[in-house]
Amino acid sequence: MPPPADIVKVAIEWPGAFPKLMEIDQVSAQMAQQLHERIQSSSMDMKLDALKDLANSSRDITFAQEFINLDGISLLTQMVESGTDFGDLLSFTLTAFVELMDHGIVSWDSFSVAFIKKIASYVCKSAMDTAVLQRSLAILESMVLNSQDLYQKVAQEITIGQLIPHLQGKVILYLHSSAMFSVCLKFYFSLVCQNVIRSNKPINDEMAHQLYVLQVLTFNLLEDRMMTKMDPQDQAQRDIIFELRRIAFDVECESNNSGSIEKRKSMYTRDYKKLGFINHVNPAVDFTQIPPGMLALDNMLYFARHHQDAYIRIVLENSSREDKHECPFGRSSIELTKMLCEILKVGELPNENCHDFHPMFFTHDRSFEEFFCICIQLLNKTWKEMRATSEDFNKVMQVVKEQITRALTIKPNSLDQFKSRLQNLSYTEILKLRQSERMNQEDFQSRPILELREKIQPEIMELIKQQRLNRLCEGTCFRKISSRRRQDKFWYCRLSPNHKVLHYGDLEESPQGEVPHDSLQDKLPVADIKAVVTGKDCPHMKEKGALKQNKVLELSFSVLYESDEYLNFIAPDKHEYCVWTDGLNALLGKEMTSEFTRSDMDTLLNMEMKLRLLDLENIQIPEVPPPIPKEPSNYDFVYDCN
């Protein structure tokens, strides 16, 4: 028999490796032979040491192959079936067995019923060593996963009821078959929720993976209904649609003799239209699409029966709107059910490395139906917030999907927490989150974008400066400063159109509009202004008896001009304070530093960036500019305009 292809390849590419491989095989064979003899020793201490070494060495596939060739698996099963070894001896025996079987060399179908019964007996015992219990559960799980025949034998020896005490003790065996964990599902989920989900102890990775597997397999029980089309001729299925109509409009089933056939058809068509079905004449056709098939109808019936008030409100609320603004309950339910199946990956096999489970789905035995009931009400709410029409149906569904997925990311512990989270994810909030994330994308932090921002920033700053100076030209009415109590005396100040003179003067009363320059007798040339001071540095804030309230202090500023004289201001509000301090600093050629300037800069700069990048939507912007091509050998191709 020729050697395997991979060994031939190793021998050709690495000639010195082949003797090494032969040497390793010889060492493994010798070690396997020694351990095979030692575990049969009459000395308990020698046997225990041998089993410890065997448990560690069995992880190596070369050693495992040699030990199995010595009929080592049969030896271990005989030791287990004899039942003479307990405690550490049994624990290391089962550990070695699990490690050897994990290599996939020996088929699981080769084990006897006596061995299965013995392993099952360890699981059923109330007082059993934890290590032995865990290894026994692992062996039973592998049998169920790898052999349908063994699954039937294991099912006869151990039931869900016998596993429940171990669940309460934080040890779980998940037999990966719907027939096993669909039994007593409500009670089973209650125990998982009480003893694992809501336990004070943290959930480790292994437990998280098992909970994820249980979640996936539970939802996969829905696959059959999801892939079942409705039979329009099946009267039992049609009765479900009649039940939806009866609950919504509180009508009794009409007898066959009540009115003409045409009248009854017209009445049914009208009601089915109000219910939001696509096919008003025969709504059963709507459920022939798979997915979601009959699962959508099941969800609708559950919602109508268990949340009757919410169901009636949604149907009647939408049937009273204009046709283009109604949110069709039937169509929405079908598309929503399909979306939820996609989000929860109904029908897909579990991922071996995934730990992503949702605690809230273990708090209710009808969690998928309750999940649907919350989401259908969310859809109706979002439809109203978006003021959507029938043409916006797909846009609404996209927003609803984003709301659901965002709410699921926080892993709510209950359906009520999930519902509360959705309340905070309104359509307006989704728009804000989208804008924030868009601005934080890598494209907006790339070097070309940052360079563009720096280039645009001076233009925006100049625009803000012009706006501030224009406001100063319009002028503002200020209240006169007095050491006495508040007096209704005012003065007005404004900048000349050529930005060279400040005109100001007293007023008898607050003006209704702008005050002309001619009525303001006092003037202050801008060229004479030396500085602008604010807050505590203002002279009118240092005077005895001056108002010392923080609000007044924040609105105070003064203009220092020649001969060390001041023109003192108290702005009517924060906006006018920022406008005047920015404007005066701009006149003096200084930087505008108010919080209003920063806010205006961010708003205008972001808007300008979006407008300039509008044509580059979904286009990757390179980090490095493209190379400049070489100059042509001649310019004869240039068109002569003359």
Question: Which of the residue ranges 114-128, 381-395, 413-427, 567-581 would you say has the lowest mean pLDDT?
Answer: 114-128
Three-state helix/strand/coil letters over 218-229:
HHHCCHHHHCCC
Paired with 531 in beta bridges are 560
Tell me what pLDDT residue 205 has. Answer: 84
Question: Tokens 């493209």 belong to which residue?
Answer: 626
The set of residues, in sequence order, having a beta carbon less than 8 Å from that of 18 and lying 6+ positions away, is 7, 10, 11
Q: Which domains does the chain have, with CATH numbers?
A: 226-252+259-439 (no CATH), 456-600 (2.30.29.30)
CA 485 to chain centre: 59
Amino acid present at 35: L
Tell me what pLDDT residue 183 has. Answer: 44
Tell me what pLDDT residue 586 has. Answer: 92
Half-sphere exposure of 389 (CA within 13 A, CB side): 4
* pLDDT tens digits along 617-630: 666 777 777 888 88
Half-sphere exposure of 413 (CA within 13 A, CB side): 7
Q: Tell me the torsion sign for CA atoms 409, 412, 415, 421.
A: negative
Half-sphere exposure of 603 (CA within 13 A, CB side): 8
Measuring CA to CA, how many Å separate 522 from each of 518, 529, 567? 10, 15, 11
d(CA 314, CA 379): 10
* Gap between the terminal Cα atoms of the chain: 89
Paired with 571 in beta bridges are none
DSSP string, 11-44: HHH-TTHHHHHHHHHHHHHHHHHHHHHHTT-S-H
d(CA 17, CA 23): 10
Question: Tokens 């490395």 belong to which residue?
Answer: 353
d(CA 187, CA 164): 10
Per cent of the chain over pLDDT 70 is 82
* pLDDT tens digits along 524-565: 999 989 889 988 888 877 764 444 566 678 888 999 987 778
Instruction: Flag whether pLDDT at 1 surpasses 70.
Output: no
d(CA 549, CA 42): 95
Per-residue exposure over 1-18, b if at least 16 CB sit within 10 Å of its own CB, e if not: eeeeeeeeebeeeeeeee
User: What is the helix (H) or strand (E) element at residue 307, kind and residue range?
Assistant: none
Query: Is 171 in contact with 134 (CB distance < 8 Å)?
Result: yes
Tell me what pLDDT residue 179 has. Answer: 40
pLDDT confidence band for 415 (50 / 70 / 90): very high
Amino acid present at 1: M
Instruction: Flag whether pLDDT at 181 surpasses 60.
Output: no
Token readout for 10 is 């190793």
Helices (H) and strands (E) in the chain, counts: 28, 7
Measuring CA to CA, how many Å separate 588 from each of 252, 266, 554? 83, 80, 22
Query: Is 258 in contact with 192 (CB distance < 8 Å)?
Result: no
pTM of the model: 0.55
Paired with 495 in beta bridges are 502
d(CA 570, CA 491): 11
Per-residue exposure over 284-298, b if at least 16 CB sit within 10 Å of its own CB, e if not: bebbeebbbbbbbbb
Question: Which of the residue ranges 186-190, 255-259, 505-509 would you say has the lowest mean pLDDT?
Answer: 255-259
d(CA 629, CA 615): 25
d(CA 492, CA 567): 12
Tell me what pLDDT residue 174 has. Answer: 41
* pLDDT tens digits along 459-497: 999 999 999 999 999 999 988 876 554 556 888 999 999
d(CA 443, CA 460): 21
d(CA 583, CA 468): 5
The set of residues, in sequence order, having a beta carbon less than 8 Å from that of 609 and lying 6+ positions away, is 444, 449, 452, 453, 456
Q: Phi and psi at residue 422, in whole multiples of 5°?
A: -65, -30
CA nearest neighbour of 151 among 111, 189, 184, 185: 111
Tell me what pLDDT residue 582 has. Answer: 93
Token readout for 181 is 């964990």
